[in-house]
């Protein structure tokens, strides 16, 4: 089940936190509970992706994007992600989550998030978010959404590793598991 109570707690805890500008970092603190674990008593990889919402949604709120989205009837969705797991987070461990926007292009805003236990990064997420128009009206350019929230700045240059990920994603076949072309039988060669 989605952690609605934890999300509410995060929104209440950060309601008085100051507004953010693109490039600023949102920091939040969490704990790995028994319902977050896998059979090895550590934070489940799928649950990790859900818990990243606990940092990303308050971050977007503090940027002022939620108000702009409501005013225009826009939505927000994850359009792709890449996660790297490096350290275990075990039951009852406390951890810190850091969230920031790296930049945007004509279609997506690229957000980086990390879960830290002590000084070690346990996992790192790159996520591209799309803003969607009212009633399935397609993708709204992130610059338009940011401008509606009062942020007129141009996107910083995306880091090389993010640009490489974007390029790699562009070569990924869609739809996945498309049937391979059927080879034609070769005509027998006459002697």
pLDDT per residue over 8-65, tens digit each? Answer: 888 888 888 888 999 999 999 999 999 999 999 999 999 999 999 999 999 999 999 9
Q: Are 113 and 106 in contact (CB under 8 A)?
A: no
- Phi, psi dihedral angles at 177 (to 5 degrees): 60, 30
Tokens of 163: 């640009």
Quick check: helix, strand or coil at residue 163? helix
Domain limits, the chain:
24-168
Task: Please list, in sequence order, all residues whose beta carbon lies within 8 angstroms of the beta carbon of residue 80, skipping any fewer than 6 positions away.
Answer: 108, 127, 128, 169
User: Looking at domain 24-168, what is its CATH homologous superfamily?
Assistant: Hotdog Thioesterase (3.10.129.10)
pTM for this predicted structure: 0.88
Q: Are 54 and 30 in contact (CB under 8 A)?
A: yes
What sign does the CA torsion over 26, 79, 115, 161 have? negative
Q: pLDDT for 98-151, tens place per residue? A: 999 999 999 999 999 999 998 899 999 999 999 999 877 799 999 999 999 999
pLDDT at 174 over 90: no
Of the candidates 29, 27, 161, the residue with the CA atom closest to the CA atom of residue 98: 27
Cα angle vertex 55, ends 59, 39, to 5°?
165
Helices marked H in the chain: 4-13, 45-62, 65-72, 142-148, 160-171
């Amino acid at each position: 089940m989605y952690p609605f109570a934890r999300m509410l707690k995060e929104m209440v805890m950060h309601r008085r936190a100051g507004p953010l500008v693109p490039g600023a970092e949102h920091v939040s603190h969490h704990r790995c509970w028994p319902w977050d674990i896998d059979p090895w008593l550590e934070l489940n990889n799928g649950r990790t992706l859900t818990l990243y919402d606990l940092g990303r949604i308050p971050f977007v709120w503090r940027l002022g994007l939620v108000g702009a989205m409501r005013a225009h009837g826009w939505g927000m969705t994850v359009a792709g992600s890449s996660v790297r797991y490096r350290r275990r987070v075990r039951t009852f461990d406390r951890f810190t989550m850091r969230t920031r926007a790296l930049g945007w292009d004509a279609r997506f805003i690229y957000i980086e998030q990390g879960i830290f236990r002590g000084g070690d990064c346990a996992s790192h997420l790159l996520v591209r978010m799309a803003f969607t128009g009212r009633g399935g009206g397609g993708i709204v350019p992130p610059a338009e959404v940011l401008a509606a929230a009062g942020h007129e700045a141009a996107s910083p240059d995306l880091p090389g590793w993010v640009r490489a990920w974007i390029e790699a994603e562009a070569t990924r076949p869609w739809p996945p598991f498309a049937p391979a072309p059927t080879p034609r039988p070769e005509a027998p060669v006459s002697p």
